[in-house]
Chains A and B, each alone.
Chain A
C-alpha cells in the first residue's frame, strides 16, 4: 500500500475534541472539590468550538484523508454541529441535577465529551474499521454513564442489560461487516459501493447486509431490537437519559447513511423490505406500549421507539429527500426529547425524581411559563402544525408518498394519531389536574433559562423551518 501524509487540518474538529478531552482529564484531577466547575466550562467551550471548527473546516468540502478512512463532507459537518450543540444543551441541563445529588464530578462531562468524539468519528467514517471503532467509543462511554450512580441498583441493572445487548448487537454488526469485507476485499466504503453497484457476489453482500441492518437497528432502538430502550431510559439518571436519547440518535443516522447508503446504497431494494418491517413494528410497539406507561421516562422511551419508526420511513423512501427528511427528523427529535426530559429535571429535586406522569399534575399552577414549554414540546412530539414536529413528520411522509408507498404513510399516520393520546394526556395533567402539594419549583435560574430557550427553539423552528430543511437537503445532495 502506498502511503501519503494525511491532511491533519481536515480532521481538526476531532483532533480538537480529543486534545481538549485529555486536557480536561488532567485539569479535573487538580481542580476537583470546587464542583468541577472548571471541567464543566471547559467541556462546554470545547463543544461550541468544535461546532464552529466543523463549519469552518468542513462545510463545502468533500475530501478524504488518513488513507481513505476519514471523510469530510457537508453531511458529516451538519451532523457534527448538531451533535455538539445538542450535547451542549444536555450538559447545561445536567449540572444542576447532579449538583443537587452530590454526584457532580468532571468524569461525567469527560465521558460525555469522549462519547461526542466517538459520534463525530462515526459521522466522518469512510471505512468499516472507523465506523466500528467510533461506535465502540460511543457505547463504552454510554455504558459507563448509565452506571454512573453506583448506589442506584436500577441504574446498574440497566447498564448491565445495555452492555450485554449492545455487545451482542456489535457482534452482529461485525459479522455483517466481515461478510461485506469478504465480498468487497476492502474496508473502504467507496470500494464497497463500487462492488455493490456492479452486482457481483450479491448473495454474500446481501448476507452481510442483513446482519449490518440488525446492528444498526439495535443502535437506533428499533423493533425488534428495542428491548434495551425502556429499561435504560428508566434506570439511568435523568441527565444520562437525555444524553442517550438525543445525540446518539443523530450518530445512528450517520451509521445508517454511511453503511447502508454510502456503502451498500446499491442494495436499496434488498434492505427496503427489511426496513419497512422494522418501521411498522417500531410504530406499532412504540405507540401502543407508551399508552400504558406510568413512568414518564419509560413513556418517552417508548415514544423514542415510535419516532425511530417514523425516521425509518425516510430511509425506506431511498431518495435524497427521504434521507434528508430522516436527518431533519433526528435533529429535531433530539431537540424535542432534550426539552421533554429537561422538564422532568426541572420538576425533580433531591430525593424526588418526578419521573411519574402524575408528577406533571398542576404544573400550570406552579409555573405557567414552563407549562407552556411542556405544551409546546408535547404538541411538537405529537406533530401538531405550528411546531417543528409537524414538519419532521410531514417531510418523511412526503418522501414515502413520492415513491408510491401510500399505504405506509397511512399506517404511520394512524399510529401517530394513537400516539397523540399519551402526549395529550400529559398536557391534560399539566393544565387541568390539581395537585395537593403545589411546592414551588427549586430549579436554578440557569436551568430555567436553558429550558425556556429549548422550548422557544422548538417553536421558532416550527415557524421558520426552512433553513434547517435546506441545510439537511444540501448535506445529502453532495
Chain B
C-alpha cells in the first residue's frame, strides 16, 4: 500500500517536473526541473529494484551532465525573445509530431498483447539472478569483462591526455613564473652595489 502511494507521488512529481522543463521561461529553471525529473525517475527505478540504474542516473546525469549543462546555460547569454519568435511558425509541425507520438503511445499502452495498464505479473529485476543487480553487474564486470573494462579505462586516459594536449599549451608572449629560476637566482644577478662618495650638504 505504502509502495503504491510512493509510486504515485514520485510519478506525479516526475510528470510535473517534465512538463515544467518544456514550459519554464527561464532556461536555468528548465535545467533545474530536469534535475528534479531525473531524481524522481531514479526513485522509480529504485522501487523497481533496479538500483544500479537509479544510482548511475543520479551520479552521471545529475552529478555531471546537468551541472555542465547549467554552466553552459548560465555562461551563454541567451536572448529569449528571438527564440520565441518562431513559435507560431513551427506550431503546425510540432503539433503533428506530438499527435503522432500520442497515437503511437496509445497503440502501445492500449494494446492487448502488451497490457501495460492492467499489468501482467511484475517480476522484479533482482529475481531470476538470485542477487541484486548491482552485485550481479559487479560479479561479471571485474571478472569476465575485466579485459574490455581495462581497455575502456585506457580510452578514458587517452581522452584526458588528448584534451590536455589540445587545450593546455604555452603561447608565446604570456607571462609566467619560472619557479626554478626564481629559486636559483643569486644575489649578483639582482643586486648591484655601487660605491659612491657621500654627498655633502651645502
**Which residues from chain A sit less than 8 Å from chain B, CB to CB?**
1, 3, 6, 11, 18, 25, 66-67, 69-70, 105, 107, 110-111, 114, 117-118, 121, 127, 129-130, 133-134, 136-137, 140-141, 143-144, 147-148, 150
Contact A114 B144 (CB under 8 A): no
- Contacts of A143 on B, CB cut-off 8 Å? 162
Nearest Cβ on chain B to A113's Cβ, whole angstroms? 10
Set B140, B151, B166: member contacting A133, Cβ < 8 A: B151
Nearest Cβ on chain B to A44's Cβ, whole angstroms? 19
Interface CB pairs A-B, < 8 A, 29: A3-B143, A6-B147, A18-B154, A25-B161, A66-B146, A67-B144, A67-B146, A69-B145, A69-B147, A105-B165, A110-B161, A114-B157, A114-B158, A129-B148, A130-B147, A130-B148, A133-B148, A133-B151, A133-B155, A137-B151, A137-B158, A141-B158, A141-B162, A143-B162, A144-B162, A144-B165, A147-B166, A148-B165, A150-B169
Contact B151 A121 (CB under 8 A): yes
Contact B155 A66 (CB under 8 A): no
- A340 to B165 alpha-carbon distance, docked (Å): 29
Nearest Cβ on chain A to B141's Cβ, whole angstroms? 11
> Which residues of chain B in 25-58 are interfacial with respect to chain A, using CB atoms and an 8 Å cutoff?
none
- Contacts of B140 on A, CB cut-off 8 Å? 1, 3
Contact A150 B166 (CB under 8 A): yes
Interface of B is mostly: helix
> Which residues of chain B in 138-190 are interfacial with respect to chain A, using CB atoms and an 8 Å cutoff?
140, 143-148, 151-152, 154-155, 157-159, 161-162, 165-166, 169
- Contacts of B148 on A, CB cut-off 8 Å? 69, 127, 129-130, 133
Select from chain A the residue with minimum beta-carbon distance to B144: A67
- Contacts of B151 on A, CB cut-off 8 Å? 121, 130, 133-134, 137
Contact A67 B154 (CB under 8 A): no
For the complex of A and B, list the 5 residue pairs with the smallest distance between their C-beta atoms, beginning with the closest: A144-B162, A66-B147, A133-B151, A3-B143, A67-B144
Select from chain B the residue with minimum beta-carbon distance to A130: B148
- A67 to B144 alpha-carbon distance, docked (Å): 6
Nearest Cβ on chain B to A76's Cβ, whole angstroms? 14
Select from chain A the residue with minimum beta-carbon distance to B151: A133
Nearest Cβ on chain B to A293's Cβ, whole angstroms? 29
- A393 to B42 alpha-carbon distance, docked (Å): 59
Nearest Cβ on chain A to B177's Cβ, whole angstroms? 16
Name 18 extra pairs, CB < 8 A, besides A3-B143, A67-B147, A148-B165: A3-B144, A66-B147, A67-B145, A69-B148, A70-B147, A107-B161, A111-B161, A111-B165, A114-B157, A130-B148, A130-B151, A133-B148, A133-B152, A133-B155, A140-B158, A143-B162, A144-B158, A147-B166
Given the known interface contacts A6-B146, A69-B148, A130-B148, the answer about A114 and B154 at a Cβ–Cβ threshold of 8 Å is yes
- A18 to B157 alpha-carbon distance, docked (Å): 11
Nearest Cβ on chain A to B149's Cβ, whole angstroms? 9
- A276 to B162 alpha-carbon distance, docked (Å): 37
Nearest Cβ on chain A to B150's Cβ, whole angstroms? 8
- A69 to B159 alpha-carbon distance, docked (Å): 23
Contact B158 A111 (CB under 8 A): yes
- A169 to B145 alpha-carbon distance, docked (Å): 25
- A43 to B76 alpha-carbon distance, docked (Å): 43
